[in-house]
Amino acid sequence: MKILNYIYRFIRFIINNTVDLTSQFLGLMLFKANRIKFKKGVIFNGIPKLHIQGKFRIGENFEMNNRISANPIGRSYKCTFVVRKDASMIIGDNVGMSGTTIVSQKKITIGNNVKFGGNVCVYDTDFHSLDAIQRRDLIIDKENVVKKEVRINNDAFIGAHSTILKGVTIGRGSIIGACSVVTKDVPDYEIWAGNPVKFIRKI
Q: Where are the chain's structural domains?
A: 2-202
- With 70 as the cut, is the pLDDT of residue 19 above it? no
State mean pLDDT over 123-151.
Answer: 94
The pLDDT of residue 25 is 85
Confidence of residue 144 (pLDDT cuts 50, 70, 90): very high
Segment among 20-24, 38-42, 143-147, 164-168 with least mean pLDDT: 20-24
H or E stretch at 109: strand 107-110
How far does CA 55 lie from the centroid of its chain? 16
Query: From the DSSP assignment, how many helices (H) and strands (E) are in the chain?
Result: 2, 20
Question: Could you give the residue numbers annotated as active site?
Answer: 128
The pLDDT of residue 202 is 97
What is the CATH T-level fold of the domain 2-202, as seen in this structure? Answer: UDP N-Acetylglucosamine Acyltransferase; domain 1 (2.160.10)
* 3-state secondary structure (DSSP) of residue 117: coil
Separation of alpha carbons 62 and 60, rounded Å: 6
Degrees to nearest 5, angle at CA 157 with 50 and 192: 120
Separation of alpha carbons 16 and 168, rounded Å: 39
Confidence of residue 27 (pLDDT cuts 50, 70, 90): confident
State mean pLDDT over 7-15.
Answer: 57
The pLDDT of residue 104 is 98
Separation of alpha carbons 79 and 56, rounded Å: 14
- With 60 as the cut, is the pLDDT of residue 26 above it? yes
